[in-house]
Structure 1
Amino acid sequence: MKEQSSSMSTTPRPEYPRPQFVREAWTNLNGSWQFEIDHGKSGKERGYEQTGHQLSGTITVPFCPESKLSGVEYTDFMAAVWYKREFTIPDTWMNGRILLHFGAVDYEAEVWVNGTSVGKHQGGYAPFHFDITSHVSSGTNIVTVYAEDDVRSGRQPRGKQSERLHSHGCDYTRTTGIWQTVWLESVPDVYLSDLKVVADPDNACAHLEVKICGNAAGGELSAAARFEGRDVGSQTAVIHGPFVKLTVALSEIHLWEPGHAKLYDLELRLTGKIQASDTVTSYFGLRTVRLDGMAFRINEKSVFQRLVLDQGFYPEGIYTAPSDEDLRKDIEISMDLGFNGARLHEKMFEPRFLYWADQLGYLVWGEHANWGLDITTTESLARFLPEWVEGMERDFNHPSLIGWCPFNETWDRGGTRQDNDVLRIVYEMTKHLDPTRPVIDTSGNFHVVTDIFDLHDYDQNPETFRARYEPMKNGGEVFNTFPERQTYGGQPYFISEYGGIWWNPDQQDEKSWGYGDRPQSEEAFLARYEGLTNVLLDHPMMFGFCYTQLYDVEQEVNGLYTYDRRPKFDPGTIRRINSRKAAIED
């Protein structure tokens, strides 16, 4: 599916927000909303949700109030925020169901339509929606949104949002409230609600699992696949309940590979003993991933993962890219530097980023924003697992996504160690929901049960960096950063954070920082970069690396690009270093 976004609209982020499950009848609700900060969380007592109440300010959705693009730019802590706007329902939509969608609201949200509460959601990164059919009428209606957010509570995943007033170290400006697209969707009374695609190139087919909302018994579900406009497979199944499985045999096999994104278009149609049919368009890629000894195989080829750390922050939008083109650009500049993928770090990235990764053949690892959540007891599972499952269900179909990493650097909290059962349970649930991809329980430390043993190593000296991994080549001791806390069990091994070389010669302010000492010249930087990277490329037991990081974020100035996406070095030089054949590659 080659979708073109529209940057000419006056509506911010006007493109369709869910590119793997597309319908024609939808309305984007981004733009100007009423807005008010509720420091005392007393808005409900004051009747803010009532249709006649006017909020005191305005904001541009979907940008968070901390951001410049929101028009608010309030960066202190906000206990709660309110949003309100009018929207219009066409007469023709009243013949079916009307769904109100939110891409993401940080952190606990409640939504009212025309003064009536229609639902709540907990979690700052996963999408949610409510059926508002019985609460609206044709013409003008009012939606009100309330969101509470407390990154200092220890009870919510915050990712890289600062727990202090100001940004510091590798924590940055916070995001409160709505930060992804809000939109309306018109569907029939009986409609397609979810799609899972399991690619099976070895058997020349794709297995589909489809969920249906409403009574469709006796109806039919048809699926049609196309490649570059050619019909390459179809299948029809009779519906007996809310869940349908069918397999589409494919007459042409085109593999999705890194740098070569071959994608199939898919159309689902619900017909038969229902009042109105429903049609959804999607796409999928055929590719396999598996671990084989020390190798990571994609379509049975050992592919060295030349990854870069991507934080998903933007100078003017914070968590939200100013435009769809900005999402694509981040992938393009990464690939131009010779990287073939990224760790999407401490944040569930929006679906449009993964869409462009699919389109461009870019590898990504899915990660949650676990920092800030106290995981010293299993009580944290109630705050972590539901949202992680929602994120996995949202992103499962993306061929670009080759692995899951629910946690990153699970440090002790207040002197209390992590509860290992938290990591074990999340790992097991992740494997249960998706047996097709490898899972890293916690990137860097402290591993409990994991398919891959990864480390973070910010040694700035290429010689000492090389020396600690040399014994592994001859069956010697495997380097482990925390041998007293985690045990290597023979898994595939890679360094999932390294480098982080400090480089900001044009901005020597005291708040800036990076890892280790600053090189004294560009030549010294490049020599260090090449020396560290060669250690990992040359190692026959390393299946990949991940360099920290693609671009600077606020005070953290160890990016290969500046925060506003200007290259610090000749991209060709970095590309030459990154692109050399790795020892483990076929």
Structure 2
Amino acid sequence: MNSTLFIPRPEHPRPQFMRQSWLNLNGEWQFEFDASRSGKERGLQKPEAKLGHTIVVPFCPESKLSGIGHTDFIPAVWYKRSFVLPTEWQSGEVLLHFGAVDYEAEVWVNDVWIGRHRGGYSSFSFPVRHALREGGNIVTVYAEDDVRSGKQPRGKQSGTYRSQGCDYTRTTGIWQTVWLEHVPATYVSSFLLYPDPANECLHVSAEINGPTTGFSFRCSSSFEGKATGQQTILVGARSVRLTLPLAEKHLWHPGSPKLYDLRVELLQEDRIIDSSSSYFGLRSIRLDGMAFRINEQSVFQRLVLDQGFYPDGIYTAPSDEALKKDIELSLAAGFNGARLHEKMFEPRYLYWADKLGYLVWGEHANWGLDISDSSALATFLPEWIEGIKRDFNHPSIIGWCPFNETWDAPGGARQNNDVLRIVYETTRSLDETRPVIDTSGNFHVATDIFDVHDYDQNPESFRKRHQPLADGGEPWVSFPERQSYSGQPYFVSEYGGIGWDPEQATEDGWGYGDRPKTEAEFKLRYEGLTNALLDNPHMFGFCYTQLYDIEQEINGLYTYDRKPKFDLEWLKSVNRRRAAIED
């Protein structure tokens, strides 16, 4: 079970909070389907129970890379593997981390039940020292998943047997890295970073786990190897805050992503007890009339829809390089950011966005969850909060969007507006530094930004629809009987979606509107739609649907295997043209 010859996705899964003492548990695990969800009654959680198959973690059983490739509905699954604790980990605590498990997971170590987590997209961890023993140890994971229940967010996972329209192959169980981490008895469990360019400093808020008497908390920064600041405070409680002045000011900006290195330490009598490495970007965000300002500069957001699917890994990128490549493909096409759509992307993707100066909007996978009743809050909100706290420190994230297109539930029940309002207010209370869109496209209840989705394929009528905003009047509002505009900054956060198959090999590929008959017709339509938004002096951005094809959906600018459909220099020249709203 414990193959040491091959570790897929071997890189550290949490680049902004890295300790040296960690152990990657990816690789070959025992695996079992549990269609009747009877495994606990049959004792599959017992360490000695053997499972009938093998799987390559962190790839889901629906994927080719898992070694299984079973794409029918999977009600429940089991995982099991052994590991040996490093000899130097005999003191302190050991944390068992899961990047993501879809949907509800239970964990055992040896014969001890460790805990349960609900939510298919957020990360979670458990302390497991009490369950460990000398020599070999066994970790067992059970996961249930039901995308048709209406009681869990599924995102773009298909609720029908086959993929169709804009829903695709499902993901069940473990789909991000599983790893162990050794920490001392008292350690830094989390920290939030608040960059403050105006005052040339970084504010840090940290949580300490364990006894704190006699401890100090220290943060040190550097830029390109040169020390830029250090600050130490006494730990008076389990929550600590400090301000780190910066000797040099280097701004993080799209296309110019200057990053500081950060060392976070816990000391006892001047002896370092706990140490982790991180980084941060010095950048501010401010809404100014109709402009979106980053470090006080009006930035037109040339965004593209990215849904985070891969032909061989489904939800999981085959490699760290593949995550980076998707951003590079977007930049090569002239975009400066993305809406990360109907999915919480993994931290490694956000790391590359930070490194490459790429703007992203954080979004949850709300589709599939019936929000016509307030009980949906109990499902949605805890996982959304976990996601915000996990990803808060990434400078590339310039806004939050918990919901996307909150359509009426089957049977016609309308969204419960209080669900959206409470999630919006909670998000704002957790993060006062970024704007929040309550639900992208529809139906807005309380939002910092008013966005619309407009898939009109005619450039002339498209421009005409948005001309009143350009003239300083009221913008176009989709579904005016359900939502109303109240003066917020405005942008078209989905448009285009033009279906195009360069090989003309399929007649039934899915896309918006009539498919162009020639490449020249595609280009004329793309330029016309995009120019209408760039020319609008009160439009702060756009988001084109989409970066690459996914399965039956052929409205990408790249194919599903990431080959360009069009000349990239042409695309870049269209997308990078100066926008009317920019300073």
Corresponding residue for 1:465?
462
TM-score, scaled to structure 1: 0.98
Amino acid at match of 2:440: S
> Equivalent of 1:244, from 240, 246, 269?
240
Corresponding residue for 1:541?
538
Shift of 1:476: 3.2
Q: How does 1:361-376 map to 2 (within 5 A)?
A: 361-376=357-372
For the Cα contact (< 8 Å) 1:216–1:274, is it kept in 2?
A: no
1:420 equivalenced with 2:417 (yes/no) = yes
For the Cα contact (< 8 Å) 1:91–1:138, is it kept in 2?
A: no
Corresponding residue for 1:5?
none
1:277 equivalenced with 2:283 (yes/no) = no
- Cα distance in structure 2, aligned partners of 1:114 and 1:450: 48
1:490 equivalenced with 2:487 (yes/no) = yes
Q: Secondary structure at the match of 2:570?
A: helix
Shift of 1:472: 2.1
> Equivalent of 2:444, from 447, 458, 467?
447
- Cα distance in structure 2, aligned partners of 1:98 and 1:138: 13
**Deviation string, structure 1 residues 60-86 (Cα, Å, up to 9, x no partner):** 000000000000100000110000000
Q: How does 1:383-398 map to 2 (within 5 A)?
A: 383-398=379-394
What RMSD, in angstroms, separates the aligned Cα atoms of the two structures?
1.2
Amino acid at match of 1:45: E
> Equivalent of 1:64, from 33, 47, 60?
60
Corresponding residue for 1:193?
189
**Deviation string, structure 1 residues 217-276 (Cα, Å, up to 9, x no partner):** 221111100000000000000011111100000010000000111000000111115997
C-alpha distance 410-339 of structure 1, shift in aligned 2 (>3 A):
same
Shift of 1:477: 3.7
- Cα distance in structure 1, aligned partners of 2:422 and 2:473: 32
Corresponding residue for 1:267?
263
Q: Secondary structure at the match of 2:253?
A: coil
For the Cα contact (< 8 Å) 2:466–2:476, is it kept in 1?
A: yes
- Specify every segment of 5 or more residues in structure 1 that has no aligned partner in the other structure, as ranges: 1-7
Shift of 1:95: 1.1
For the Cα contact (< 8 Å) 1:216–1:273, is it kept in 2?
A: no
Q: How does 1:161-200 map to 2 (within 5 A)?
A: 161-200=157-196
C-alpha distance 469-224 of structure 1, shift in aligned 2 (>3 A):
same
Shift of 1:9: 8.0
> Equivalent of 1:517, from 494, 514, 519?
514
- Cα distance in structure 1, aligned partners of 2:150 and 2:353: 32
TM-score, scaled to structure 2: 0.98
Greater displacement, 260-269 / 502-511: 502-511
- Cα distance in structure 2, aligned partners of 1:350 and 1:505: 31
- Specify every segment of 5 or more residues in structure 2 that has no aligned partner in the other structure, as ranges: none
1:566 equivalenced with 2:555 (yes/no) = no
Shift of 1:309: 0.1
Corresponding residue for 1:307?
303
**Deviation string, structure 1 residues 450-499 (Cα, Å, up to 9, x no partner):** 00000000000000001111122333342111100000001000000000
> Equivalent of 2:328, from 310, 328, 332?
332
Shift of 1:156: 0.3
> Equivalent of 1:74, from 70, 75, 95?
70
Shift of 1:507: 4.8
**Deviation string, structure 1 residues 485-525 (Cα, Å, up to 9, x no partner):** 00000100000000000101425435411000111111111
Number of matched residues?
579
Corresponding residue for 2:81?
85
C-alpha distance 9-428 of structure 1, shift in aligned 2 (>3 A):
farther
Amino acid at match of 2:421: R
Q: Secondary structure at the match of 1:247?
A: strand
1:532 equivalenced with 2:532 (yes/no) = no
> Equivalent of 1:580, from 558, 577, 580?
577
- Cα distance in structure 1, aligned partners of 2:153 and 2:106: 19
Corresponding residue for 2:428?
431
Amino acid at match of 2:358: Y
Amino acid at match of 2:499: W
Q: How does 1:196-215 map to 2 (within 5 A)?
A: 196-215=192-211
- Cα distance in structure 2, aligned partners of 1:477 and 1:256: 34
Q: Secondary structure at the match of 1:277?
A: strand
Q: Secondary structure at the match of 2:97?
A: strand
For the Cα contact (< 8 Å) 1:334–1:340, is it kept in 2?
A: yes
Corresponding residue for 1:128?
124
For the Cα contact (< 8 Å) 1:217–1:273, is it kept in 2?
A: no
